[in-house]
Structure 1
Amino acid sequence: MRTRLLAAAVAAAALSGIATPQAFAAGLTDQDTTFMAQAHQGNLAEIAAGNDTQLHATTECVKQVGDLLVRDHSKLDADVKSLASRLNVTLPPSPSAEQNKELAAVQAKAGSPAYDAAWLSTQDAAHRKTLALIDQEIKAGSNAEVVAAARTARPVVAMHLEMVRGGTCHAASDTGMIHAGSGGQLAAAQGSAATAGVVGMAGGALLAVSGAAWLLSIRRRTAGKS
């Protein structure tokens, strides 16, 4: 009887679907890892470019958009780094050489209207590239978590593109109303939901084991009384 009860408990634990670290990496391909690496570099480049506007931009609109980029891409990058850590993916330490070169070219015009124009034009091109990168991951990505991260980031990046499209600044009148920053929060919520699911399944397995032990003790007491 004891053997059967313990076997039932083990089976219940298995059926509860407790996730292992390897399960998170299921279906991870070169497409997924390349996307995470390039998305991380893009976030770092946008954060650097946004911070630079606070020092060198001549218009309030560009400074406002730059500040928004720092806020949103910091959130998105926190999600990318968390996901990469779970999937054991190593991310590059800095923006690409091309991205650094582009920012340096903009900085060469610091303090003049030419800076603002160059910054907006560079950001237009950068966000178009990022959207293409995101769409490729959504289309061809294999890992569900990475694809979900791409889907979450897309509306944020699309909002940014609308603010610099055509090299013209289109800042919202109230940045507090812009939902672009919700991307990082949504991705975090998804990660929290996944974690809660794993914890819940683990709890279910423990409950099954505890229930089996309780049933065994009842049977022992009943047998002792008889």
Structure 2
Amino acid sequence: MRFTHTCVTVAAAAGVLALTGTATAFGAASPAADSDAVFLQTIHQANLAEIAAGKDARTHATTDCVKRVADIIVRDHTTLDSKGAALAKSKGITMAKEPSAAQQKQLSALKSKNGTAAYDSAWLKDQSSGHQQALALIDKELKSGKDSQIRAAAQAARPVVAAHLKMVEGGVCHAPTESGSPQR
């Protein structure tokens, strides 16, 4: 696998893992639930997935760059999730305890590449996909959310997630060397 990305995510969501659709990637919510509550629940699961993926990369990535990006993602998503969970609690919204089954399956698939250059490349690709989905979810909340506090939380998270996307898609980590291994 060719390393095409340059070194990762945050804020309100991200969905580590090459996820294929917001509902599937972040976990489907009850159709009867209001959209603001669904946003908080979905972003929470995305944060949980990002934190888990970041912790995994700290241990299994081969480059210092990916490990540094993973540290940033874990730090930022932990902060974002803490704020989102407090907001959800204040509004009586129940939150999941772990990433969705689809997110867990995606992380398991990534683990099969532990300690290889393919891991770093796949992790960056998954982070890109997850952060793109998170931004789409945040933008939807900003456009149509009804609760001003939840919209404010989404607004605050947006630049964090956008910064993570920029990190994983371009410019932080270098392309592979001639040998095919990413530069450290």
Q: TM-score, normalised by structure 1?
A: 0.61
Q: Distance in 2 between matches of 1:130 and 1:170?
A: 20
State the Cα distance separating 1:135 from its structure 2 match: 0.3
Identical aligned residues as a percent: 50
**Counterpart among 38, 61, 64 of residue 60 in structure 1:** 64
Larger Rg: 1
Structure with the bigger percentage of helix: 1
What is the aligned length? 141
Unaligned segments of structure 1, at least 5 residues: 1-28, 172-226
Q: Distance in 2 between matches of 1:92 and 1:51?
A: 19
Residue by residue over 1:2-53, the C-alpha shift from the partner in whole angstroms, topping out at 9 and shown as x without a partner, is: xxxxxxxxxxxxxxxxxxxxxxxxxxx7110000001100110010011111
State the Cα distance separating 1:87 from its structure 2 match: 0.4
Q: 1:127·1:160 contact (CA, 8 Å) conserved in 2?
A: yes
1:108 alignment counterpart: 112
**Counterpart among 151, 163, 172 of residue 170 in structure 1:** 172
**Counterpart among 69, 77, 80 of residue 76 in structure 1:** 80
Aligned-CA RMSD value: 1.1
Residue 146 (1) aligns with residue 146 (2): no
Residue 131 (1) aligns with residue 156 (2): no
State the Cα distance separating 1:96 from its structure 2 match: 1.1
Moved more, 76-85 or 95-104: 95-104
Residue by residue over 1:65-84, the C-alpha shift from the partner in whole angstroms, topping out at 9 and shown as x without a partner, is: 00000000000000011000
Larger RCO: 1 or 2 (CA < 8 Å, sep 6+): 2
Alignment of 1:174-189 (within 5 A): none
Unaligned segments of structure 2, at least 5 residues: 1-32, 174-184
